[in-house]
Amino acid sequence: MNDLDATDLLLLKILCDNSNQTVKELAAQVNLSPSPVFERVKRLENNGYIKKYIAILDAEKFNQGFIVFCNIKLKQHDRKIGNHFVADILKIDEVVECYNVSGDYDFILKVYAKDMKHYQDFVFNKLGSVDSIGSTHSTFVMAEIKNTHNISF
């Protein structure tokens, strides 16, 4: 982060809030002309500060607003079982985030489902087919309070 100046950081904050802005709009917000802003954004992309640009969809509009955090314990802790688990989870569409964590569980999954029945089907038929899982514990989201991809710097 040492190679970023205040303008770079401001551009990153602006893009985190809305990446669907033209270079001209960005330039006006950081008080520069479009050419240097274009170059700065390209440098930020090329240096990996910006991974990608995405559209964040409203899960409710797609009847997928039932959010569950599913804690996973593996049967055993070895490379083969861990790699099989990761390969299997990457194939499951309902799993939108997966984190390898420390503590009582090995992984936390964020899952979108239509409703409880859909989630039950997901647990029995999709997670149930993942041989490396020893146990699961589900936590159901009652309300989303904050959801941002911004990074504090």
Per-residue tokens: 93: 């569409």
Asked if 15 and 76 sit in the same domain, the reply is: no
CATH of the domain at 14: 1.10.10.10
Residue 14, domain member (yes or no): yes
Asked if 74 and 11 sit in the same domain, the reply is: no
Per-residue tokens: 73: 């314990």
Asked if 37 and 108 sit in the same domain, the reply is: no
Are residues 111 and 122 in contact, defined by beta-carbon separation less than 8 angstroms? Answer: yes
Rounded distance, CA 109 to CA 141, Å? 13
CA distances 46 to 52, 83, 131, Å, are 11, 30, 39
Asked if 29 and 74 sit in the same domain, the reply is: no
Q: Which domain holds residue 83?
A: 59-140
Rounded distance, CA 151 to CA 153, Å? 6
Asked if 76 and 24 sit in the same domain, the reply is: no
Q: What is the pLDDT of residue 153?
A: 80
Q: What is the pLDDT of residue 1?
A: 67
Residue 150, domain member (yes or no): no
- Total structural domains within the chain: 2
* pLDDT tens per residue, range 43-82: 999 999 999 999 999 999 999 999 999 999 999 988 999 9
Asked if 87 and 127 sit in the same domain, the reply is: yes
Are residues 66 and 116 in contact, defined by beta-carbon separation less than 8 angstroms? Answer: yes
Q: Taking the model in full, what pTM does it have?
A: 0.85
Closest C-alpha among 117, 114, 109, 116 to residue 136: 109
Residue 146, domain member (yes or no): no
Asked if 40 and 63 sit in the same domain, the reply is: no
* pLDDT tens per residue, range 12-51: 999 999 999 999 999 999 999 999 999 999 999 999 999 9
Asked if 72 and 100 sit in the same domain, the reply is: yes
Asked if 91 and 136 sit in the same domain, the reply is: yes
* pLDDT tens per residue, range 86-111: 999 999 999 999 999 999 999 999 99
